[in-house]
Chains A and B, each alone.
Chain A
Amino acid sequence: AQRVTQPEKLLSVFKGAPVELKCNYSYSGSPELFWYVQYSRQRLQLLLRHISRESIKGFTADLNKGETSFHLKKPFAQEEDSAMYYCALRSGAGSYQLTFGKGTKLSVIP
């Protein structure tokens, strides 16, 4: 069975400091990995996915199959980045369900 682990429930950083939100997964095949974000009083929305290899709002994430990780990074945190971040995995192989981690609350201190 697949599993997604986000070890930090809460991460506080100062504005302008680098951010790294950790995500580790367990799955024996070749999964598809996503980061979803939920801003206060808003719905869950896709931030980025590993197959796109793009930067969204200054965030990037690289899939490391050796370490089974998909950490989310941003070089300089902004106050508007404060939100709940969820890492999610889709196993592929005809399955479309997402397996989510428990989420990390990012708080950017002005």
Chain B
Amino acid sequence: DTGVSQDPRHKITKRGQNVTFRCDPISEHNRLYWYRQTLGQGPEFLTYFQNEAQLEKSRLLSDRFSAERPKGSFSTLEIQRTEQGDSAMYLCASSWTGDRNEQYFGPGTRLTVT
């Protein structure tokens, strides 16, 4: 499968714990995006990378959230001191500058904070 992959697919954690998610984009894509989706809502933008540079961040991305893309390939999203309100589906997408910016989505990581 050459699509966007995310790991893990499911994560259950206790409030106050830290969690880290990984996203592997389509190999030739230089842009990578993180979104969060809660029940009954559409995806909400969190942050965006072009190569290794983080170019856009939503105000939804509190200081407990940090994202990296150190070598311009895979990305990680870390949530520190998780809260119950962080329970959501975390989606990763990637795109290529020459493809009219069509964003290809991964399957998501479902986080449950107990």
Contacts and interface: CB of A to CB of B under 8 A. Distances in A.
Interface stretch (B11-19, B65-73, B79-87, B98-106): B98-106
A51 to B, nearest CB: 7
B109 interface: no
B25 to A, nearest CB: 13
B41 A97 contact: no
B105 A45 contact: yes
A95 B44 CA distance: 14
Contact of B101 (A43, A96, A99, A100): A96
B75 interface: no
A44 interface: yes
Interface string B48-62: 100000011010000
7 tightest Cβ-Cβ pairs between the two chains A and B = A100-B42, A97-B45, A44-B105, A100-B43, A43-B105, A43-B107, A86-B42
Contact of B45 (A44, A51, A99, A103): A99
Contact of B41 (A44, A88, A102): A102
Interface string A40-60: 000111100101000000000
